Structures are given as structure tokens and as C-alpha cells.
Amino acid sequence: MGNRLEGKVAIITGAARSMGAAQAGLFVAEGAKVVIADILDDDGKRLADQLGDSATFVHLDVGEEAQWEAAVDTAVTEFGSIDILVNNAGVYRRASFEEITPELIDLHYKVNQLGVFLGLRAVYAPMREQGSGSIVNVSSISGMRALPGHAAYGTTKWAVRGLTKYAATEFGRHGIRVNSTHPGFIDTVMLEENSPEVNAGISAVTPLGRKGTVDELAEVTLFLASDASSYVNGAELTIDGGTSI
């Protein structure tokens, strides 16, 4: 237990499981109130119950603008403000160029790219009013390098990197910082999309020789969300064991 987020209210999207759930747990342990936002209602509610009075669950499909309003309302009415947004929700389907369909492009676009844009827009006005805020957009090393089979997914992650820079430029004047994280291979449900052979090869190409954990990822998100990073804006931070160098 610490106090690195004492008095702060956060919305974390895709927080019902994996990386988002680890971030929610760490944020609460560091004094924050957290809105767990996801389309997985049962998992999200269960996690909110486990975390106690400092957490609540809201159903949010990040690609649906109207649902964002309800999520921000929940933060403000239940916990009093909105200080932190972690745009963590994401989908990943591995496909070669020949396998990619317009539907697959739409799926990635709606969740990974439009969802981040709508999140930025939803919190901008209340954060601007209070003159402060920290937004962390979860991109990927696929948003920095062209990885095999990642074209549909990775192009949205490049977009998240770009959106972060544009938002950091416009929001900065109002005391709102916007940064992106670029996880490498973090041990979560999402990696089940890869074949066992691909996942077995991951450690081999990682200078640290292993996958990352959700707790290692959460610590970096906490740094960017907290006042410890008060002069960090528009930055991109890799958490990848050195894979992208």
C-alpha cells in the first residue's frame, strides 16, 4: 500500500482482466478511486467487488460514444472528479495481408483507435475545467515496428502513438498530460491469439529473455498516471524487455 495516487480518480478501460485489472489493483493500492470499464460485465463486477469501496464497474464499449458519457459521469458522481484515464482496452487478431478483411480492419479500428479518440474527447472537458489530468494510451511495440501478422492490429497502434502526440500538443496548455505506453510481449490472455510456436519464440527475441508480467506493466502505467511524471508529456515508453531495440 502506498499513496502515489492519493486523491485521484481514474477510469481504466479494458480493466476486467489482464493488464487493465493489474493496473486497477495497483492504482487502488496506491490510493486512487478506480472506474473499471469493460464489456466483460461479470469479470468487471467481480474485480470491483474484490477491490472494495475504492472501485466500481461500468459497462463501456469504448467504440460507442454515448457510453463514454456514462463512464465519465460515474467517475464524477461516485468519486468526485476524473484525474486519470488509461485507454487500455484493445483487440488483437493475427492476420497476414491476404487474410485481412474489411471487417477485421473495422474491428481493430473501432476498439483500438476510435475507442482511444473517444476516450480522449470524453475526459478533455472535465480535465480542462479542473486544469489537470493524465492520460495514458496503451499502444504496443507494433506501433513502433512492423511485426509479422500485425498489419490490421499494428496500424491502429501506430495511430494511437500519433493520436497521443496530437492530444499532448492540444491538451498540454490545460495541464493535461498525454503519453503512450508500448508493451512488448506481456503474459496475458491476448497472447492466446498467437500459436504456441510463436509464443515460444518470443523469449528468444527478447534481450531480457522472457515475457513481461502485468505487474511490471502496471508499475510503468502508475508512473505516467501519477505526479511523479509531471513534466512527461507526449512521450512514448516501451515496456518490452528490449525487444524493439
Give yes or no for residue 152 binding ligand NAD (CB under 6 A).
Answer: no
Give yes or no for residue 117 binding ligand NAD (CB under 6 A).
Answer: no
CA distance to 33, 173, 207, per residue, from 5 (Å): 9, 22, 32
Q: Please identify, using beta-carbon distances, which residue of 17 and 177 lies nearer to ligand NAD.
A: 17
Give yes or no for residue 90 binding ligand NAD (CB under 6 A).
Answer: yes
> How many other β-carbons are positioned within 10 Å of the β-carbon of residue 163?
21
Only segment of 74-82, 100-108, 144-152, 188-196 that touches ligand NAD (CB under 6 A):
188-196
Q: Please identify, using beta-carbon distances, which residue of 82 and 214 lies nearer to ligand NAD.
A: 214
Q: Backbone dihedral region of 56: left (phi > 0), alpha (psi from -120 to 50 degrees) or beta?
A: beta
Q: State the Cα angle at 35 between 181 and 48, rounded to 5°.
A: 110
Taking alpha carbons only, the member of 206, 198, 111, 202 closest to residue 152 is: 111
Query: Which residues on adjacent β-strands are paired with residue 59?
Result: 38
Give yes or no for residue 62 binding ligand NAD (CB under 6 A).
Answer: yes
Task: Work out which of 5, 10, 11, 18 binds ligand NAD, going by CB under 6 A.
Answer: 18
CA distance to 50, 110, 180, per residue, from 107 (Å): 31, 5, 21
| Residue nearest ligand NAD (C-beta atom) | 90
Q: Which residues bind ligand NAD (CB under 6 A)?
A: 13-14, 16-20, 38-40, 60-63, 88-92, 111, 138, 140, 183, 185-186, 188-191
- Active centre residues (catalytic): 153
